[in-house]
């Protein structure tokens, strides 16, 4: 008897990728031989065993023959005389049909190395067509190995499987399982593209397929095509390592645009409501789990409101917070904001644009949460409690807004962090950038204003002045071991005079994540955004 490492482990090692799980094939053994050696039998449909120490999977070499429709209709034949080549032949792609013996020698009867080098997904044999799940698997691999392409003959074979109805035999759970895994890969759009290329997307997820070719208004969507937009959004979500619910919500937020009558294009008024119905139906059909469904419904319904957050009346903002269940489920609200931000960033040229809505809505929630609902409830008659709490929250949101929508945010940088402040005046933007910098270290709302430090600086232009201002703060933080939470800046012709309030670093209270070394000239910009607000930003080295 001889054992080989097979499949993904061999492929990933040749690609220089980390190998997570190793599967083994055993040639020339019977189930009884395996049990006698201490292996533990686990396979229901075919003979698979766990190694007594490593618990890695060992399967007896086998062949499979199609005996019915769908992925379960197989006759399995495992016997000592089945050869390694026969076992490899039943596998899906050449790059997955290689084996390695105990001495490390590679067995590659179907050109797996050649296809790895050429970065091609090619089916091993016509037996590929016997299992429609393989279409989804190839598409998922396309999302993971994003420089590979599907061989033309493999694509043609997949298309035949779609045309002859084999694809319709897939059970809904299996479709969701593969789509969910593909969404978690590096570039999910490639999965949908691969499914579209063979016609499978129209059968499996027609509501996504029909978004391609639907135009949107170019002033908000430079990419125009709704399908292209949705793909940019899921890829952005993947790039930002978002969770599965956020990625699924990103995929489905605009489904309603697919049913807009063409005579109304490129407008899609009220598409959010139609999206909600379509998301519910889709989730029902492919059995999407509740957490993914609920977030997808919320994002489909309210992404437009989130984008317009700064224009909404305070009461409408509170309604939005209530609808998204932000008061009880702050984690889901955060996921909601992440999905809305992906929707915004998934447009060409929008990757670095200021997007103040999430920070504003977070601040609104913060203000509304600060309302003492118990006290409000005790102050009015029972019938008016709900209304009174709502009004108090709306007033709190209005009060927080009167600061002119000043807020801060972070933007990504590979090794460090970008800080950005936004406000009605340049001075307010400088104050907010300083808060953003504190937030790199700790939550600025948790820093008490116990000590005041006076800061003055001067520079040839606003950008250099921003870097000077931040570096002056970094010096004071480092030399005095302080954290700052509140800032007041006044500016006069590139001269800055400011007071920063803070307190000494307290490890238990502040849990400071990292020390800031310096503010840099990278991504350094000071100016006004489209809505006329000032912003000031740069990357800080940590």
Residues of the shown chain interacting with another protein in the complex, contacts defined by CB under 8 A = 15-18, 147, 240-243, 410, 412-417, 441, 460, 464, 467-468, 471, 474-475, 478-479, 481, 504-505, 507, 510-515, 517-522, 524, 541-542
- Which lies closer to another protein via its Cβ, residue 187 or residue 260? 187
Contacts of 187 (CB under 8 A, 6+ apart): 143, 146, 235, 238
Q: How far is the CB of 471 from another protein (least distance, A)?
A: 5
Collapsing DSSP to helix, strand or coil, 11 comes out as helix
Contacts of 445 (CB under 8 A, 6+ apart): 366, 485
Contacts of 223 (CB under 8 A, 6+ apart): 229, 232, 347, 348
Element (H, E) at 389: helix 385-401
Contacts of 452 (CB under 8 A, 6+ apart): 499, 500, 501
Q: How far is the CB of 496 from another protein (least distance, A)?
A: 15
Collapsing DSSP to helix, strand or coil, 440 comes out as helix
Q: Per the structure block, which two tokens stand in for 242?
A: 């978002």
- Which lies closer to another protein via its Cβ, residue 43 or residue 512? 512
Contacts of 221 (CB under 8 A, 6+ apart): 229, 347
Nearest to 500 by CA among 432, 433, 451: 451
Q: How far is the CB of 158 from another protein (least distance, A)?
A: 27
- Which lies closer to another protein via its Cβ, residue 188 or residue 258? 188
- Which lies closer to another protein via its Cβ, residue 222 or residue 504? 504
CB crowding 362-398: b at 16 or more within 10 Å, else e: bbbbebbeebeeeebeeeeeeeeeeebbbbbbbbbbb
Instruction: Please give the C-alpha separations between residue 384 and each of 238, 316, 330, 340, 494, in angstroms, as whole numbers.
Output: 46, 19, 26, 34, 53
- Which lies closer to another protein via its Cβ, residue 16 or residue 104? 16
Q: How far is the CB of 16 from another protein (least distance, A)?
A: 5
- Which lies closer to another protein via its Cβ, residue 147 or residue 381? 147
Q: How far is the CB of 517 from another protein (least distance, A)?
A: 4
Collapsing DSSP to helix, strand or coil, 272 comes out as helix
Q: How far is the CB of 269 from another protein (least distance, A)?
A: 34
CB crowding 502-540: b at 16 or more within 10 Å, else e: bbebeeeebeeeeebeebbeeebebeeeeeebbbbbbbb
- Gap between the Cα atoms of 80 and 31, Å rounded: 9
Q: How far is the CB of 115 from another protein (least distance, A)?
A: 16
Q: How far is the CB of 96 from another protein (least distance, A)?
A: 19
- Which lies closer to another protein via its Cβ, residue 10 or residue 320? 10
- Gap between the Cα atoms of 227 and 195, Å rounded: 13
Q: How far is the CB of 87 from another protein (least distance, A)?
A: 29
- Which lies closer to another protein via its Cβ, residue 86 or residue 541? 541
- Which lies closer to another protein via its Cβ, residue 214 or residue 473? 473
**Tally of CB atoms within 10 A around 114:** 13
- Which lies closer to another protein via its Cβ, residue 464 or residue 491? 464
Sign for the pseudo-dihedral over CA of 500, 501, 506, 509: negative
Instruction: Please give the C-alpha separations between residue 27 and each of 2, 23, 47, 376, in angstroms, as whole numbers.
Output: 5, 13, 12, 75
Q: How far is the CB of 467 from another protein (least distance, A)?
A: 7
**Tally of CB atoms within 10 A around 21:** 10
Q: How far is the CB of 478 from another protein (least distance, A)?
A: 5
- Which lies closer to another protein via its Cβ, residue 14 or residue 385? 14
């Amino acid at each position: 008897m001889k054992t080989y490492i097979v499949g993904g482990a061999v492929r990933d090692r040749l690609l220089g990728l980390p190998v997570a799980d190793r599967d083994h094939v055993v040639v020339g053994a019977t189930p009884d031989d395996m049990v006698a050696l201490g292996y533990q039998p686990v396979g229901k449909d075919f003979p698979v065993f766990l190694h007594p120490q490593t618990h890695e999977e060992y399967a007896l070499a086998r062949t499979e023959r199609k005996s019915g429709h769908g992925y379960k209709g197989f006759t399995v034949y495992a016997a000592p005389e089945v050869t390694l080549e026969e076992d490899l032949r039943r596998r899906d792609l050449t790059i997955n049909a290689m084996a390695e013996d105990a001495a490390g020698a590679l067995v590659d009867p179907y050109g797996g190395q050649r296809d790895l080098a050429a970065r091609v997904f090619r089916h091993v044999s016509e037996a590929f067509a016997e299992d429609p799940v393989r279409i989804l698997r190839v598409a998922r691999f396309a999302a993971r190995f994003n420089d590979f392409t599907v061989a033309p003959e493999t694509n043609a074979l997949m298309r035949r499987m779609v045309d002859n109805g084999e694809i319709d035999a897939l059970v809904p759970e299996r479709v969701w399982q593969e789509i969910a895994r593909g969404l978690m890969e590096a570039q999910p759009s490639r999965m949908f593209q691969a499914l579209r290329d063979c016609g499978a997307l129209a059968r499996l997820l027609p509501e996504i397929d029909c978004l391609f070719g639907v135009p949107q208004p170019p002033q908000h969507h430079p990419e125009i095509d709704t399908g292209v937009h949705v793909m940019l959004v899921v890829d952005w979500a993947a790039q930002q390592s978002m969770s599965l619910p956020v990625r699924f919500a990103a995929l489905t937020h605009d489904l309603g645009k697919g049913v807009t009558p063409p005579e109304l294009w490129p407008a899609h008024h009220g598409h959010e409501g139609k999206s909600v119905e379509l998301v519910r139906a889709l989730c029902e059909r492919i059995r999407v789990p509740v957490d993914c469904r609920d977030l997808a419904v919320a994002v489909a319904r309210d992404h437009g409101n989130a984008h317009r957050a700064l224009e909404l009346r305070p009461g409408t903002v509170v309604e939005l917070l209530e609808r998204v269940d932000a008061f009880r489920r702050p984690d889901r609200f955060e996921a909601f904001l992440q999905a809305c931000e992906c929707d915004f960033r998934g447009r060409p040229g929008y990757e670095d644009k200021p997007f103040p809505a999430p920070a504003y809505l977070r601040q609104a929630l913060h203000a509304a949460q600060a309302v003492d609902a118990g006290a409000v409830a005790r102050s009015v008659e029972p019938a008016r409690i709900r209304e009174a709490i709502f009004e108090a929250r709306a007033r709190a949101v209005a009060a927080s807004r009167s600061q002119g929508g000043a807020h801060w945010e972070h933007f990504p940088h590979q090794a460090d962090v970008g800080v950005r402040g936004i406000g009605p005046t340049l001075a307010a933007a400088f104050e907010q950038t300083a808060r953003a910098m504190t937030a790199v270290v700790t939550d600025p709302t948790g820093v008490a204003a116990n000590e005041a430090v006076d800061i003055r600086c001067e520079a040839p232009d606003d950008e250099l002045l921003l870097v000077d201002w931040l570096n002056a703060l970094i010096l004071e933080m480092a030399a005095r071991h302080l954290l700052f939470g509140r800032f007041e800046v006044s500016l006069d012709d590139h001269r800055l005079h400011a007071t920063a309030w803070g307190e000494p670093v307290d490890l238990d209270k502040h849990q400071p994540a990292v020390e800031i070394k310096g503010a840099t000239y990278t991504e350094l910009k000071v100016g006004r955004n489209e809505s006329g607000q000032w912003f000031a930003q740069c990357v800080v080295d940590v």
